[in-house]
Amino acid sequence: VDLNPFAGAIARFRLLLAALQASDVHRMVESPDFKIHVAIGDSLLHGRRFGLTATDDMFQGAEHFADTGLAHAYASEDLAEAQEILGRQYHAVVGNPPYITVADKALNETIRRVYARSCKGAYSLVAPFIERFWALARPEQGTVPAGRVAMIVSNAFLKREFGAKVIEDFLTTVDLTHVIDTSGAYIPGHGTPTIILM
């Protein structure tokens, strides 16, 4: 699930090519009807809130927010697909959330309210995405192990005040097994020092 329709189109195309290659299919007419699970939407706002504190209005569509200044944030080209993808928990949750702050004041306050365990001060989106990724991972159930999370994030939350809540109030509640510092590695498109959390 991604806000950017171009990123979604690229992901669909690359997943289709990978599926064709794995299936040893060389002509589109011979291709099975692959279901590619990619949607355009906001991973922080759409979908179910597994164990998160949220109000009932967080599950409404854009029309519900017409007079609040937030309709643009809840609108999605693929709302049904985004709700379906983000309405389940997974064995593996992998991603690279944005390292930016939210300029839109109403949206910033909404995210802060929904992700109260991780948002503090002038928070970067890394903070609520850390909370969201772990919520999308399946909890341990009997002999079925808990889902795994891997995310590449800016290391700013370790160095700046906004990260205190993530570290003290959220990461202490999950089984964080690895923190890998990649600051010495060249990762294309990542000028910011990053870490990998698992």
Contact 127, 137 (CB under 8 A): no
Residue range 37-64, pLDDT digits in tens: 999 988 998 888 776 444 444 445 555 5
Residue 198 above 90 pLDDT? no
Tell me, rounded to whole angstroms, the distance of Cα 130 from its chain centroid. 8
pTM: 0.81
Report the number of secondary-structure helices (H) and strands (E) in the chain.
7, 4
